[in-house]
Chain A
Amino acid sequence: MNNLAILPIILPILASVIVAFFPGKLNIVRPLSKIFMVVFLGVMLFITFKVYSDGMIVLQGGGWDAPFGISLVLDYLSIILVLTTYVIATAAVFYAPHSLSDQQEKFYFYTFFFLLISGVSGAFITGDLFNLFVFFEVLLMASYGLIVLGNGKAQLRESLKYVLINLFSSMLFVTTVAFIYSLVGTVNMAHIAERVDSIPAEDQGIVTVIGILLFFVFAVKAAIFPLYYWLPNSYVVPNPVVSALFGALLTKVGIYSIFRVFTLIFVHDTGVTHQLFIWLAMLTMIFGVIGALSTNNVKLIITYNIIPAIGFILMGIGLFNEDGLSGSIYYLMHDMVIKAALFLLIGALIVAAGTKDLSQMSGVIQRFPLLGWLFFIGSLVLAGIPPFSGFIGKLLLLRGALDQGEILLTVVALLSSLLILLSMIRIFIRGFWGEKMEGMTTNPSKVHALTIPATFLISISIYLGVGAETVLPYIDQISSYLLERTEYISSVLKG
């Protein structure tokens, strides 16, 4: 059964190659991709079930035992994120045909799409630091392909910055891996963790420094203050379905990596590292939400809202207690779903209103009530209003924060939530309310088709809130498992 661990990365790669053979034949590629995604989603559900019933699955690549080969690790955390990724991807694949032009679809959208899924899943499940770098390359290459899709001038301009900043971070990544190898002579994460544990406390200084360096590698990808400059514009220029995938998945891979290494490896000097995270989390929230309030471009508002969410997740890592970690994981999962949903909804709104500029919109809800109410609920979810999914994560995070007496952090988090709500409700009030505007779309059925996948995701968000009890015990299991650390290390290295 160990071979199950390869499926999340190999299935989409195969799909990616298969659809590449029919670039021009949309009547084949579209249904094929949908079928693939639905089947894959089923497979992931099955694997998730297996992991939670029979324990984590570790595959030693090529039969070479850790630490010599590459370990793929489906633990409680990674499988849940893989599953979330597939849920979002399924919604996206049903959205894409209505959002992209035929030509964009023909130019290998589906190939890059599956490549992206593979890269993201790989980053979640790999147990090898260098292999993580490889999966970063995969997902970045796929994202380059997706970002230039359509070949607009703005897209090329923004993708250049995106590529260059990400290249810089990749370079730093390799350098840091080399430093780590120099310290402990291995790149398998469980093995690194084990070896770092045995370093005497007075020598941990250099480990902490390299940990911080690695943090910056991931922080660039996760869009943490002050490293997120590449994000807003490069997420705004592509098609909404691409933005949804980016917003939901890419930054989350970065924050997941921070999560992984700072709960597994660099846990010996939390007074420095994790305290730094708390400060950066606050700044990330503040600056992100300031960005969200600074513009009238509806898509940019959603894009900026990615940043404070990362702040929330980082906050839990910084707190490094059970509530904080549970909160972070819940928030991570919730934010993946809701960000995707909101990007999809904003795409529908832009089609409906025929403009991205909020100051030119009004009264859209009168023609598209479902879209309006979904957006309203989405805003509440994002701001963490109960009983939706955002609240559960936020509650846990705040509990973790207040448990350690972090009043300032709590106040910042609460105020950011309020401003997030303001940034979203501005769209609702100015765009959806008011007199019916001129120049709304003449093709309402397209808007309806775009609304359906978003409905699916919003329903999941509601479920993750109201039905939290069905999910939460598993999340708590993850956080105590992460704090324990030994299960991961021994499962990977047992061979």
Chain B
Amino acid sequence: MVYAVFAPLIFAILIPFLSRIKQRIHTGWLILPVPLLIFIYFLQFVGANFETKMQSTTWIPTLNISLDFYLDGLSLLFALLISGIGTLVVLYSIYYLNKEEQLGHFYTYLYIFMASMLGVVLSDNVFVLYTFWEFTSLSSFLLIGYWHHREKSRYGALKSMLITVLGGFSLLGGLILLTIETGTTSIREMVAMTDVIINSEYFIAILIFLLLGAFTKSAQFPFHIWLPDAMEAPTPVSAYLHSATMVKAGIYLMARFSPIFNEVPLFFILLSIFGLVTLAWASYMAVRQTDLKGILAFSTISQLGMIMAMLGFGTTYGVFAAVFHILNHATFKGSLFMVAGIVDHETGTRDIRRLGGLMTFMPISATLAVFGTFSMAGVPLPFLNGFYSKEMFFQSSLGLEGSGTFVEGLITAIPIIAVVGSIFTFIYSMYLFFGTFRGGYKEDQLPTKPHEAPIMMLVPPAILVLGVIVIGLFPNIFNNALITHSADAIYGDTVTKDIKYWHGLDSRAFQMSLAVVVLGVVLYLTKDKWSKIYSVLPGSLSLNRVYDWIVEKIESVSNKITTSYMTGSLRLYMMLILTAIILMTAGTLLYSGGMNFNTVDLAPITAQEVIVAIVMAIAAIGTTVARNRIAAILILGVVGYGLAILFVMYSAPDLALTQLIVETVTVVLFLLCFYHLPNLSSEGQSVAKTGSNILVSIGYGLLMFVIGISAYNSRFAETISSYFMENTYEEGGGHNAVNVILVDFRGIDTLFEVAVLFGAALGIYAMIKLRSNKGAK
């Protein structure tokens, strides 16, 4: 199995090299055997006596991440779909994309996707699953953006990525919570610990995180909006990723975890509500579309909603029907996408308003489409698999049990919504077929003259249609070998079902089907009369607009916020920084009780000290209000000399000397520089601004003062300075403790301060030199 997952990945890496020889053969042919072999490999497991299989390879054991591939009925069904439809899609794409396209890119993305999707359905380790999950989103992004010179492709690619990766991140959150609660990263072990999860205090969070992941991926309302725009991808991609496989990853996830959530009412409520709303809304919206692929996209969304709802019902019947429909949907929808691609390819347009009467030109395609659309509509004919799953859907929507007014109300509403959704499904199916292949032929509106597609292009959809018919004729054909195992895996215990064509006239499900057909026909024929309703609902209430608004706003609001404070004004920055420091430090000071303000321990203050301090304070304030640079620097000098006097008073003559020299040199240097500078200009600030500046300055000063005193009063240990005094002469060989500290005890400090000077000197030299060089030029 490991090889099955990684083979496409390895080929994906090789493809760029393989595609160099595309002059002779279409790259598709070279790599077609890969999915085919995988399909055959998985086919061998199909059978009544299927047994689960597990293969492990370690990867990051420290994080409990290992490549555990686990094959059970559910994974097998998906693996077969992925490799089987993958084979057909690659075959189809050989004729769909011609050699001038960048085939290397196309197949690389496609095979990355194939590997990732197989990885998703086979991984037992949640983080490996997550890794592959993100890679399906990314490969989908690249495939939608395949024709990236088109604006719409880029738009669709970004949209799909944002929405699915949003879900992916949410899924990650849920998975981490699950691993924390259960202490394992294996899904099977989690299932075994259902009680722990359900009783966890984070249960709701887990559920919501996971649902968000599943709903975004499987395009459930209101996250479905990315799927129609994903139709910008080449049609083989739409058939493969955006109908048969990737969009079912969310379904898969829910199915995989449903043994855990099955008994939880909230799971039932959320899944069935979102599923049914998606079903109804998307089928309603599909009727409005004019692009063939647009119709199919909404149709896919609505069918996904239906499967989601059935999983939510959580009954044996519902689960079985869901699995059955996953298979059926893949067959008829895959074939319909391929036919839509053929129509596009051979007529040059997918706009259904310009199409019509193609039956005569493309009889084979039309035949394939009949089966596909009628099966999708659930027309009660015994050779259409869609009918069976539709019946089973109705059947499963009936007879649900639950308690509580809300749940009971929901249970009553479910069959009604199911019927409404199905009516619209019927309408768009008819619309799709009759609008394209029947009616008047509009020669003048078609870019090219239509003709039937090459035979090899028709083979893949034909094979899928064959599947539709075979399952239709023998609905139980795969039950024991495949579907039951799948349903088993989801439901957690053995599910056996026998699918019957005829339930009798008094069967409620049959009556519902009948109602759908009758109302569907009536509404389809009168479509022109009632289609005005779309200007009322959704009217201007479009979710796409919400998305566009958000994306647009993210940029403009970000810009507004950022430019509001990133003004380039140093004054503002300092103001904000100081305010933050004052607020948070003062807050901590009060909260943690660190204030230790008293003057008991302080040395007595002499009059001289007070005078010097006052002079310094006045000078410091004076600097800020001076209008002239020279005056400012001279006043600042007073502060420096005042400090020197303080040093003298506290018997530190060497420091005082140093301070005097530094101060003098600085003042002189400043004066020299100022000669070249313009005069200070008045800032012309408002009073309020000046006031708040003063406030912040005082606040900061006060804060430092209080902390300083408090720190002084809270001496918890003797300083280490006595060591220096004692050892300066003995060990350091010098008489001046300060000197010995500088050059010996803490010599590294000094060495690197010298390095700082070295850097400063070179920096200034470089600046001046570079400038004079520029001047010379």
Cβ contacts A5-23/B at 8 Å (1 or 0 each) = 0000100010011001000
* A398 at the binding interface (Cβ < 8 Å): yes
Assembly CA distance A9 to B596 (angstroms): 40
Q: Which residues of B contact A103 (CB under 8 A)?
A: 770, 773
Q: Is the CB of B131 within 8 A of A386?
A: yes
A interface bracket (residues with beta carbon within 8 Å of B): 35 or more
Q: Is the CB of A208 within 8 A of B588?
A: yes
Cβ contacts A243-287/B at 8 Å (1 or 0 each) = 000000000000000000000000001001100100000000001
Assembly CA distance A392 to B176 (angstroms): 12
Assembly CA distance A435 to B745 (angstroms): 66
User: Separation in Å of the B747 CB from the closest CB of chain A?
Assistant: 5
Which among B56-64, B401-409, B417-425 touches the partner chain?
B56-64
Q: Is the CB of A206 within 8 A of B753?
A: no
Q: Is the CB of B592 within 8 A of A208?
A: yes
Cβ contacts A94-112/B at 8 Å (1 or 0 each) = 0000000001000110011
Q: Which residues of B contact A67 (CB under 8 A)?
A: 720
* A216 at the binding interface (Cβ < 8 Å): yes
Cβ contacts A188-204/B at 8 Å (1 or 0 each) = 00010001001100011
Q: Is the CB of A186 within 8 A of B593?
A: no
* B413 at the binding interface (Cβ < 8 Å): no
* B148 at the binding interface (Cβ < 8 Å): yes
Q: Total interface residues on B, using CB and 8 Å?
A: 100
User: Which of B574, B716, B770 is A183 in contact with, Cβ under 8 Å?
Assistant: B716
The residue of chain A having its C-beta at the shortest distance from the C-beta of B16 within the complex is A369
Q: Which residues of B contact A183 (CB under 8 A)?
A: 711, 714-717
* B695 at the binding interface (Cβ < 8 Å): no
* A213 at the binding interface (Cβ < 8 Å): yes
Assembly CA distance A473 to B62 (angstroms): 7
Which among B26-34, B426-434, B484-492, B561-569 touches the partner chain?
B561-569
Q: Which residues of B contact A233 (CB under 8 A)?
A: 566, 568
Q: Is the CB of A138 within 8 A of B716?
A: no
Q: Is the CB of B570 within 8 A of A164?
A: yes
Q: Is the CB of B165 within 8 A of A229?
A: no
| Residues of chain B from 347 to 368 with CB closer than 8 A to chain A in the complex | none
Q: Is the CB of A476 within 8 A of B62?
A: yes
Cβ contacts A378-389/B at 8 Å (1 or 0 each) = 001001011100
Assembly CA distance A64 to B558 (angstroms): 54
* B719 at the binding interface (Cβ < 8 Å): yes
With known contacts A108-B762, A209-B588, A429–B158 Cβ distance under 8 A: yes
Q: Is the CB of B771 within 8 A of A151?
A: yes
* B675 at the binding interface (Cβ < 8 Å): no
The residue of chain A having its C-beta at the shortest distance from the C-beta of B583 within the complex is A226
The residue of chain B having its C-beta at the shortest distance from the C-beta of A394 within the complex is B172
Which among A127-135, A308-316, A440-448 touches the partner chain?
A127-135
User: Separation in Å of the A54 CB from the closest CB of chain B?
Assistant: 23
Q: Is the CB of A107 within 8 A of B752?
A: no
Q: Which residues of A contact B169 (CB under 8 A)?
A: 414-415, 417-418
The residue of chain B having its C-beta at the shortest distance from the C-beta of A9 within the complex is B752
Assembly CA distance A411 to B572 (angstroms): 31
* B668 at the binding interface (Cβ < 8 Å): no
Assembly CA distance A148 to B748 (angstroms): 28
Q: Is the CB of B763 within 8 A of A112?
A: yes
Main secondary structure of the interface of B (DSSP, over half): helix
Assembly CA distance A415 to B166 (angstroms): 8
| Residues of chain B from 567 to 618 with CB closer than 8 A to chain A in the complex | 568, 570, 572-574, 576-577, 580-581, 584-585, 588-589, 591-596
* A318 at the binding interface (Cβ < 8 Å): no
Which among B83-91, B226-234, B702-710 touches the partner chain?
B702-710
Assembly CA distance A42 to B565 (angstroms): 45
Q: Is the CB of A386 within 8 A of B130?
A: yes
* B554 at the binding interface (Cβ < 8 Å): yes
Assembly CA distance A148 to B767 (angstroms): 7
Q: Is the CB of B154 within 8 A of A138?
A: no
User: Which of B63, B127, B154, B591 is A272 in contact with, Cβ under 8 Å?
Assistant: B591
| Residues of chain A from 71 to 112 with CB closer than 8 A to chain B in the complex | 72, 103, 107-108, 111-112
Q: Is the CB of B127 within 8 A of A209?
A: no
Cβ contacts A387-415/B at 8 Å (1 or 0 each) = 10001100110110011010100110011
Cβ contacts A281-299/B at 8 Å (1 or 0 each) = 0000001001111110000
Q: Which residues of B contact A469 (CB under 8 A)?
A: 58-62
User: Which of A134, A410, A476 is B749 in contact with, Cβ under 8 Å?
Assistant: A134
Q: Is the CB of A68 within 8 A of B573?
A: no
* B663 at the binding interface (Cβ < 8 Å): no
The residue of chain B having its C-beta at the shortest distance from the C-beta of A160 within the complex is B570
Q: Is the CB of A422 within 8 A of B162?
A: yes
Assembly CA distance A208 to B559 (angstroms): 37
With known contacts A134-B753, A407-B202, A199–B762 Cβ distance under 8 A: no
* A227 at the binding interface (Cβ < 8 Å): yes
Q: Which residues of A contact B205 (CB under 8 A)?
A: 407
Q: Please list 6 pairs of residues, one from A and one from B, whose beta carbons are closer than 8 Å in the complex, sorted by A's number.
A: A161-B570, A229-B566, A380-B138, A433-B148, A472-B62, A476-B62
- Given A70-B747, A165-B574, 8 more A-B residue pairs with CB atoms under 8 Å apart are A62-B744, A62-B745, A108-B763, A115-B759, A220-B577, A272-B588, A395-B63, A468-B60
